[in-house]
Amino acid sequence: MKQVEELVLPVGTALDRFISRHEEQFPFATGELSQLLRDIALAGKIVNREINRAGLIGVAGAYGQQNVQGEEQQKLDVIANIRFIRALRNGGEVCGIISEEEEDIIDTGSRGKYVVAIDPLDGSSNIDVNVSIGTVFSIYRRLSPVGSAVTMEDVLQPGYKQVAAGYILYGSSTMLVYTTGYGVNAFTYESSLGEFFLSHADMQMPKSAQSYSINEGNYRDFSPEIIEYLDYCKDQKYTARYIGSLVADFHRNLLKGGIYLYPETKSSPTGKLRLMYECNALAFIAEQAGGKATDGKRRILDIMPTKLHQRCPLYIGSVDMVKQVEGCLAKKNEMAWQS
Ligand code: P6P
């Protein structure tokens, strides 16, 4: 006969309760940032539902136009963008939004104290083949006076100014992972209850591992220093894992250790990934979990942005592995300096 306690196991800590319990950590804790995180979680639940049913509700496939990046938009890119912008606008805590899918700043006209940089759906080329994809977001405090128009300075802040950052991974399970500068916590979505529950508390990224993540199809395009590092990985019999969705590759490395590399190439001389709504958020999370993130020369979080959609090379993951790549690249940087 089972004890009654076994019959009524606790369901765990819901995201809402976790946020409320940790509210005192938020600077100027007046509940707005907590509400903003809830707004993002709500939009994530809605997008999750649409991703899971994409093939049934006619939202799979291409939308038929390109975004400001010149990339073919998928229907779900457009849908996710609308869902997150609507949730942030209706929530009232955000005065400005920059999005991969929007050319310019969105000024919500609200008296909100925060600005958000978001990639509504990253890895969307994987949607139609049922591979994990993700949402990435960064949250900053506005710099201009409340009630005034949102300025470029409000949205072009360096990554170290983030007050929170996170991602939602739509994978074999849907997870929300975020930090407010007090460690990294992950919440798994229980769809039968419509809630995210704490599943990974205070995550720590292993300092090293034997797994690397890069698109080796660009091998001929890489610098000699990156080729040297990749050859080292092969000599060490490292495992190559590349999903084609940054959020999924990053999440694996957060749990198991590893490094993700997207170097500059001839076709992408400043790298492919976007600083404001991909690299900064993941760099914040990586560092909070004991990892590291660099563009090969600079700490990602120290890069002073100059354009909304600027790109940068990205080396992110286990601290010892990122340091090793930096060592390889230092030779290149030194040679460049001496030439
Ligand atoms: P490639 C998806 O487009 C993305 O931004 C990341 O999620 C992913 O890691 C990378 O680009 C894939 O790029 O050039 O290897 O197809």
185, 37 Cβ separation under 8 angstroms:
no
Q: What is the pLDDT of residue 28?
A: 64
Q: Would you say the CB of residue 244 lies under 6 angstroms from ligand 1?
A: yes
The residue whose CA is least distant from atom 10 of ligand 1 is 244
Q: What is the pLDDT of residue 63?
A: 84
**One domain, residues 37 and 167:** yes
Tens digits of per-residue pLDDT, 165-179? Answer: 999 999 999 999 999
Residue 6 covered by a domain: no
Q: What is the pLDDT of residue 222?
A: 94
Q: Tell me, what CATH number does 326's domain have?
A: 3.40.190.80
The residue whose CA is least distant from atom 4 of ligand 1 is 123
The residue whose CA is least distant from atom 15 of ligand 1 is 215
Residue 8 covered by a domain: no
Q: What is the pLDDT of residue 336?
A: 61
Provide the domain count of the chain. Answer: 2
Q: What is the pLDDT of residue 93?
A: 94
Q: Would you say the CB of residue 265 lies under 6 angstroms from ligand 1?
A: no
**One domain, residues 169 and 240:** no
d(C-alpha 247, C-alpha 51), whole Å:
16
Domain final position from 200, 231, 265: 200
**One domain, residues 45 and 192:** yes
Q: What is the domain range of residue 320?
A: 211-338
**One domain, residues 50 and 73:** yes
Stretches in the chain below the pLDDT threshold 50: none
**One domain, residues 196 and 229:** no
The residue whose CA is least distant from atom 13 of ligand 1 is 244
Residue 108 covered by a domain: yes
pTM, whole model, 2 decimals?
A: 0.94
d(C-alpha 47, C-alpha 278), whole Å:
18
Residue 334 covered by a domain: yes
Ligand 1 centroid from CA 97, angstroms: 23
Residue 129 covered by a domain: yes
Q: How far is CA 11 from CA 7, 168, 176, 189, 200, in A?
A: 12, 21, 17, 12, 14
Ligand 1 centroid from CA 193, angstroms: 33
